[in-house]
Structure 1
Amino acid sequence: MGEPLSIIVVEAERDRALSIVDALRGAGDYDIHVISEPTGLARKIQARSPDIVLIDLENPSRDMLEELALASGPMDRPVAMFVDRSDEGLSAAAIEAGVSAYVVDGMQPQRLKPVLDAAIARFRMFSRMRTELAETKRALEERKVIDRAKGMLIKVRGVSEEEAYALLRKTAMDQGKRVADVAQALVTAAGLLS
């Protein structure tokens, strides 16, 4: 069995923090650390590098919500935020800031595990989507460079598009490089010569 899930609980009130820790201990085997002072929150969270951050606030302001959400590294790990009440637009602001789960009406022990599970699943889904988007953007940029290189070969060598691509592919194989890298080198060299 692997290491227990590490959770940082951000809660200023001692009694509420103890209640959350008790609920977490009842829900599973977790390595729990409580941060009661939000000053230097980003540094404290970075030092611990938890698997998930759980933030409990009575009545968050937009500024506090953004500071806490951004400090907790929502792109690095799931963040679950429990609030007692929420003004209009705060849930949308929390989600835009990267919070994986935003629960209004406070933290209730019986809901804690399902909310954490949902936050983790949502975080993983969005991480996959970010990765896929980055890979798609990279592939599109590479395709553009390859097309430019093919266009240059067609113009200079007087070959067809298929022959230009075959030349790029053969050069890449001969040099042990990717076609996109050979195309980029050709485009860069042509830029220097013009």
Structure 2
Amino acid sequence: MNRTRPHTSMAVAGLRVLLLDHGKQRSPIFRAELIRLRCQLLEVLDSVHGLPAAMLRSEPDLILIDSEHIDAELLSALAAAQASRHLPLLLFADGLGPDAMRSALQAGVNVVIVGGLQAQRLESVLQLTLARFEQDDQLRQELDRVNTQLADRKSIERAKGILMREQHLDEDTAYHRLRRLAMDRGEPLAAVAARLLEADQLLRKA
């Protein structure tokens, strides 16, 4: 069962952290600082291959990656992890160029810290990661909502076209008939339109 942690408070105490040590071998420093901040360090992974199983097993609130370099294997693992369960991602890496940083952000990383590790700054960086994740998640949800509305409008327009063609109706009459059908069935207009499109496709294949 997936755990859902409220990110609105940005408090790090109790934060469940999964640490991926991708070559830097600084996990003892992170472990000590996370304990001081009263976070829960669930696991320390030394390979990206164990990331999907660890996410299912530990159900973290945040994934912290400490990487010596950014490679295709790491980026692919992070993108796959985000596809399976959307989580805040914090990446520490040294010597990243603009292209590597852009690739990390495209893979779903919320915050990239370039350069040396300053343990005393970890709390503020964790808070920043949670805040950026919340902001990015809100934008993603808004984009999904807009895309859904656009798809619904296209379905309704196509369904109107079917009624106009099959029943020789004008556009307004076809829309009102579609809307009346939705009201009679107690269903959203887009759902009725989608079923009409499916029925029309089946009839064309018959």
- Same fold by TM (over 0.5)? yes
Shift of 1:182: 1.3
Match of residue 23, structure 1, among 33, 36, 49: 33
Name whichever of 156-165 and 175-184 sits farther off.
156-165
Match of residue 115, structure 1, among 125, 130, 133: 125
Instruction: In structure 1, list runs of 5 or more residues that go unmatched.
Output: none
- The DSSP-based 3-state class of the residue aligned with 1:103 is strand
Which residue is equivalent to 1:100?
110
Instruction: In structure 2, list runs of 5 or more residues that go unmatched.
Output: 1-5, 7-12
- The DSSP-based 3-state class of the residue aligned with 1:20 is helix
CA distance in 2, matches of 1:96, 1:19: 28
Matched, 1:56 2:74: no
Is contact 1:85–1:106 with CA below 8 Å preserved after alignment? no
* Letter paired with 1:48: S
TM, length-normalised to structure 2 = 0.79
Aligned-residue sequence identity (percent) comes to 30
1:36-55 alignment runs, 5 A limit? 36-38=45-47, 39-55=49-65
Match of residue 77, structure 1, among 72, 76, 87: 87
* Letter paired with 2:105: I
Match of residue 41, structure 2, among 32, 40, 44: 32
CA distance in 2, matches of 1:64, 1:153: 51
Query: Given the superposition, is the C-alpha separation of residues 148 and 70 from structure 1 closer, same or farther in structure 2, using an over 3 Å criterion?
Result: closer
CA distance in 1, matches of 2:107, 2:15: 23
- The DSSP-based 3-state class of the residue aligned with 2:26 is helix
Which residue is equivalent to 1:124?
134
- The DSSP-based 3-state class of the residue aligned with 1:141 is helix
Is contact 1:84–1:106 with CA below 8 Å preserved after alignment? yes
Aligned length: 191
> How well do the aligned residues superpose, as a CA RMSD in angstroms?
2.6
Which residue is equivalent to 2:173?
163
